[in-house]
Structure 1
Amino acid sequence: MKIFSREQIYEGDKLTVERQNISSTELMERAATQIFNWMHLRMQGAQVPIHVFCGIGNNGGDGLVLARHLIIHGYNVKTYVVNYSDKRSKDFLINYDRIKTVTKAWPTLMKSEADFPQIHPNDIIVDAIFGIGLNRAVVDWVKNLFKYFRETKAFTLSIDIPSGLSTDKVPKSEDDVVWAGYTLSFASPKLVFFLPQTAKYTVQWEVLDIGLDQEFLSTTETDVALIGKHEVLPIYMPRDKFSHKGLFGHSLIIGGSYGKIGAVTLASKGALSAGAGLVSVFVPKCGYNVLQTAFPEAMVFTDANEAIITDIKFDIKPTVVGIGMGVGTDSKTVSALDAFLKQNKVPLVIDADGINMISKKKSLLKLLPENTVLTPHPKELERLIGSWEDDFDKLNKVKAFSKKHKVIIVIKGANTITVLHDKLYVNTTGNPGLSTAGSGDVLSGIITGLISQGYNPLLASIFGVYLHGKSADIAVEDFGYQSLVASHIIDYLGEAFIDLFKQPENAQETVDTADTEE
């Protein structure tokens, strides 16, 4: 799914009005009617008090249209205009006049805290105060209104985006933003729904189709994509009946040190379970017996040193190399990595201490093949690119780093983001159970195994992140968040592949909905 920028959404609105020969007011009617239909389908006439808070711009206009439809259909509605400015948008004024045709009184005009209504925990709040175009500081009494929403503990539904939240910056204060239980977003979700510092402002979200111009939707290129099953299915490469292991490449995993052979074992198993035809492992001598016992499917090569890797030599021709898991950062290992990179000719996936060594010796970056995949956790990323002020600053620094060094960076997190130059691919699978030792080693192994089979490094990263998270989503049903361990991700990887071809169960009730025509 494409995630459109604010500017692109404005352009889409404009083109839709022009190409469909409708007014902006008609487009507003269409959009807000979709919100009403969403609510009506779920409430089916329930007489829960609904408080619709409208700003004086187009987001407020959406709120007025919604309130009008709710009133027409007999809901218990109270409508308020949050009068934070003397300016009104044209479409707000049109719908302000229209709502008077279905109610005996104008919406309540709010100018200060003295106008706050009484709201009970079982009521519903609809937030239609600010939309994506907010370009001013929120005045204090409106901030206090946002705080009041939270204090009431009433369910809060935001239209398009929680009020006060920008599409491209982190709020200065948590009190500057509405905390929504649900957000109904037009055309596409917003990037801020997926970033650690801003995702908390909406518990859930859903995209509503408001009939934007199809050519605009299909041809407009975005810098951000949301990755789910629909997006990864075209990536998947099925296997022919007469295929054999030689067709799926040879993954080489290099890593481990005394006491950390588990990391390289997990990565190697991940590579084979992701579909690599062959997996070999290069470890210090202390890892030989461990791997031959714990992972008999692997071929094992060892360094002459017992405890650490000091000289990377092997007599195979791997398709791809995954390196760095548990390898440590001893100066001899750094020298071994330097020598290896100077003669390496195959794609690379670099994780953990591999990244830490590069951070220590930045000259190694010049030796990386184009589209090398780096899979850092937050602290490893900070060592690589430096500290950041907030999530947007982090993304900008990662994009700059990716462009400069021509590498792919997988930013691991609740919504793992794969970055190539200016493009972001936001993953939707995974859960808190992945916050466990070794899960990152498994991910690097999965990506390595996919590259081995012929997936290009970018698609392997996107697909690998999806499968890794999906496997955990399936496994957590059996183990729960706390008891999920990295080995379970490998054990359930096959089910993640099978899930790609399962059809969703979508038996949804229907009720009469509002007419979207004027």
Structure 2
Amino acid sequence: MKLFSKEQIYQGDKLTAERQKISSTDLMERAGTQIFNWMHMRMQGAQVPIHIFCGIGNNGGDGLVLARHLILDGYNVKTYVVNCSDKRSKDFLINYDRIKNVTKDWPTLLSCTEDFPEIHQDDIIVDAVFGIGLNRAVDEWVKSLFMHFRSTKAFTLSIDIPSGLSTERVPEDEDSVVWAGYTLSFASPKLIFFLPETAKYTIQWEVLDIGLDQEFLFTTNTEVELIGKHEVLPLYLPREKFSHKGQFGHSLIIGGSYGKIGAVTLASRAALFAGSGLITAYIPKCGYVPLQASFPEAMVITDANEEIITDIKFDIKPTVVGFGIGVGTHSKTISAFETFLKKNKAPLVIDADGINILSKKKILLKLLPEQTILTPHPKELERLIGTWKDDFDKLKKVKAFSKKYTCIVIIKGANTITVFDNKIYVNTTGNPGLSTAGSGDILTGMVTGLISQGYNPLQATIFGVYLHGRSADIAVENFGYQSLIASHVIDYLGAAFIDLFKQPEQPTEVVEKEQEQEEQE
């Protein structure tokens, strides 16, 4: 799914009005009507008090359209205008006049803290104060209003974006933003719904179709894409009946040190479970017996050293190499890695201490093959690119780093983000159960295993991140967040592949209706 920028959404609104020969007021009517339809379908006429707070711009106009439809349908509505400026949009004024024609209870003008209405916990607040165009600090009294919303503990529904939240920066004061229980977003969700510092401002979100021009939606390229099942399914490479293991590549996992052989075992298993035809682990001697005994499907090559890797030599021709899991940062290991990089021609996936080595000796970054994949956790990323001010600054620095070294960077988190050049891919799978030892090793193995069988590095990264999260989502149903361990994620990877082709279950009422139709026929 494309995530449109603020400028692109404005462009889409303009093109829609031009191509469909409608006014901006008509488009606002569509938006407000869709919000009404969404609420009406769920409330079915329930007389819960609904408090709609409208700003004086186009977001407030959407709120006025919603209020008018709710009033006409007999709902218990109270409308307020947050009178925060003398500048009112044309469409707001049109809809302000329209709502006066359907009710004697005209919108209440709010202009100071004394005007705040009484709201109970069981009421509903609709936030239509500010939209995506907010480019200034929120007035103190409006900030107090937003804090009043939170203090009531009433369910809060935001229109398009929680008021006070910018699409391009992290708010300096969290009290100046509405904390929404649900946000109904137009055209596409916003990037801020998925970033660690801004996702907290809406618990859930949903996109409403307001009939924007289809050509615009399909042909406009966006900097950010949201990755779900529909996005990864076309990437899937099916297997022919007469295929054999030689067609699916040979993954080489290089890593491990004394006490950290388990990390290599996990990564190697993940690579094979992801579909690699063959898997070889390159480890120090101390890991030979543990790895061979625990994972018989793997082949093993050992370093001459007992406890660390000091010299990377092998007589195989790997399709792809995964490096760094549990390898340590000993000077001899760094030297061995540098020598390896100078000779290596295979695609690379680098994790953990491999990234720490690159951070220690940044000149090695110039030796990486194009589209090398780096999979840092937050501290490893900081060592690699330096500190950042906020999430937007982090993305900016990662994009610059990716472009400079032509590499793919995975920013791990609740919504893991893949960055390549100027493009951002936001993953939608995964859960807190992945906050466990070894989950990163498994991701490295999965991505390595996907490259080995023919996926290009970017495809393998996007697909691997999705499968990693989806496997955890399936596994967590049996184990819960606290008891989920990395091995479970590997064990459920097959289920994640199968899940790609499962049709979503239909609601019970839909199934019953279809059965009634079949009986009548």
Taking structure 2 as the reference length, the TM-score comes to 0.97
With over 3 angstroms needed to count, the CA separation of the structure-2 counterparts of 1:199 and 1:375, relative to structure 1, is: same
**1:507 shift after superposition:** 2.8
**1:105 shift after superposition:** 2.4
Could you report, residue by residue, the CA deviation over 1:328-369 in whole angstroms, capped at 9, with x for unpaired residues? Answer: 000000000000000000000000000000000001001100
**Counterpart in 2 of 1:516?**
none
Task: Indicate yes or no: 2:408 matched with 1:413.
Answer: no
**Counterpart in 2 of 1:18?**
18
**Counterpart in 2 of 1:506?**
506
**Counterpart in 2 of 1:328?**
328
**Counterpart in 2 of 1:160?**
160
Could you report, residue by residue, the CA deviation over 1:390-416 in whole angstroms, capped at 9, with x for unpaired residues? Answer: 000000000000000000000000000
Task: Indicate yes or no: 2:348 matched with 1:348.
Answer: yes
Aligned-partner residue type, residue 457 of structure 1: P
SS in 2 for 1:445: helix
**1:443 shift after superposition:** 0.2
**Counterpart in 2 of 1:288?**
288
Partner Cα separation in structure 1 for residue 105 and residue 117 of structure 2: 16
Partner Cα separation in structure 2 for residue 148 and residue 509 of structure 1: 39
**Counterpart in 1 of 2:440?**
440
**Counterpart in 1 of 2:366?**
366
**Counterpart in 2 of 1:319?**
319
SS in 2 for 1:234: helix
Task: Indicate yes or no: 2:44 matched with 1:51.
Answer: no
SS in 1 for 2:235: coil
Partner Cα separation in structure 2 for residue 314 and residue 206 of structure 1: 52
Partner Cα separation in structure 2 for residue 223 and residue 87 of structure 1: 32
Could you report, residue by residue, the CA deviation over 1:284-341 in whole angstroms, capped at 9, with x for unpaired residues? Answer: 0001001101110000000000000000011100000000000000000000000000
Could you report, residue by residue, the CA deviation over 1:122-171 in whole angstroms, capped at 9, with x for unpaired residues? Answer: 00000000000001110000000010100000000000000000001000
Aligned-partner residue type, residue 324 of structure 2: G
Query: Mind listing any 5+ residue stretches in structure 1 that lack a counterpart?
Result: 511-518
**1:383 shift after superposition:** 0.2
The structure showing larger relative contact order (alpha-carbon pairs under 8 Å, at least 6 residues apart) is 1
Q: In the TM superposition, what are the counterparts of 1:119-158 in structure 2 within 5 Å?
A: 119-158=119-158
Sequence identity, in percent? 80
Partner Cα separation in structure 1 for residue 163 and residue 73 of structure 2: 26
**Counterpart in 2 of 1:209?**
209
Partner Cα separation in structure 2 for residue 168 and residue 259 of structure 1: 44
Partner Cα separation in structure 2 for residue 45 and residue 328 of structure 1: 63
Taking structure 1 as the reference length, the TM-score comes to 0.98
Could you report, residue by residue, the CA deviation over 1:50-108 in whole angstroms, capped at 9, with x for unpaired residues? Answer: 00000000000000000001111111000000000011000000000000111112100
Aligned-partner residue type, residue 202 of structure 2: T
SS in 2 for 1:195: coil
Task: Indicate yes or no: 2:271 matched with 1:256.
Answer: no
Calculate the aligned-residue CA RMSD, in Å. 0.8
Aligned-partner residue type, residue 195 of structure 1: L
SS in 2 for 1:300: strand
Q: In the TM superposition, what are the counterparts of 1:492-503 in structure 2 within 5 Å?
A: 492-503=492-503
SS in 2 for 1:205: strand
**Counterpart in 1 of 2:101?**
101
**Counterpart in 1 of 2:270?**
270
**Counterpart in 1 of 2:86?**
86
Aligned-partner residue type, residue 201 of structure 1: Y
Partner Cα separation in structure 2 for residue 176 and residue 287 of structure 1: 55
Partner Cα separation in structure 1 for residue 509 and residue 68 of structure 2: 24
Q: How many residue pairs were aligned? A: 510
Aligned-partner residue type, residue 37 of structure 2: N
**1:509 shift after superposition:** 6.4
Task: Indicate yes or no: 2:303 matched with 1:303.
Answer: yes
Partner Cα separation in structure 2 for residue 102 and residue 275 of structure 1: 63
Partner Cα separation in structure 2 for residue 69 and residue 507 of structure 1: 28
**1:32 shift after superposition:** 1.0
Query: Mind listing any 5+ residue stretches in structure 2 that lack a counterpart?
Result: 511-521
Q: In the TM superposition, what are the counterparts of 1:41-80 in structure 2 within 5 Å?
A: 41-80=41-80
